[in-house]
Chains A and B, each alone.
With several copies, the nearest count.
Chain A
Amino acid sequence: MRTALIHEPIDAAALLQEVSSHGSGATTLFLGTVREVNDGRDVSGIDYTSYEAMAVRELAKIATEAVEKFGTPHVVVEHRLGALGLGDVSVAIAISHARRGPALDASRYVIEQLKQRVPIWKREHYTDGTREWVDPTRHGVAAPSGGAA
């Protein structure tokens, strides 16, 4: 298990390598990426900021919960901070498990918990030159929220 906040591009292939194991029959990778439209506005990029001391601890707690809940030590999560452009990967979650069910469940668990608990914020930049902090709580449950994922 490993979790990290990083300020460089995420290397998804390296994460897959890191969780690979001869005991695993299934590997899942989840990537969050910066998408070009959010709430109907044209996005040109996103700045990710964080309360790093706390985010590091909260990320590690979530991964530990996943390890205990789904019974695999092969959980690696990286979240990138800083200025990201369209298509850039903001978060990567790599998990391997003997069986596919828990590998898929664990991947979903980590991204859902991360989005609820880890103190990371994003400010979207729009093509019209404006920028705004994203507030997922302003939207109804059914509406897409967040610029990435």
Chain B
Amino acid sequence: MNVRVLLFASYADALGTDSLQVDVPAPSRVRDLLAAIQERASHAVPPAPLVAVNSEYADLDQVLGADDEVAIIPPVAGG
């Protein structure tokens, strides 16, 4: 299945885009998606970044569906 991945700030700069379509087997977990991204862009994104699925923080074991929007969250720096 094709999962839409949002990138922000330093991660978007490093990958040169603010979104990716990543093909992963169904079902996949967040950690599987991160491994696929690491293959495509090693060193641009750390192995275990903060991740949100559909605008909520998610853990690495969360199972993904094809319609999920996954965001890779660089260290936040608001305020």
Contact = CB atoms under 8 A, between A and B. Distances in A.
The reply to whether A and B meet directly (CB within 8 Å) is yes
Interface of A: 32, 48-51, 53-55, 57, 79, 90-91, 100, 111, 114-123, 133-138, 146, 148-149
Interface stretch (B7-15, B20-28, B31-39): B7-15
A116 B76 CA distance: 7
Given A51-B52, A133-B10, A121 B79 contact: no
Chain A contact residues, majority secondary structure: mixed
B6 A51 contact: yes
A118 B56 CA distance: 11
Contacts of A111: 79
A88 B43 CA distance: 34
Contacts of B73: 51, 119
A91 B55 contact: no
B71 interface: yes
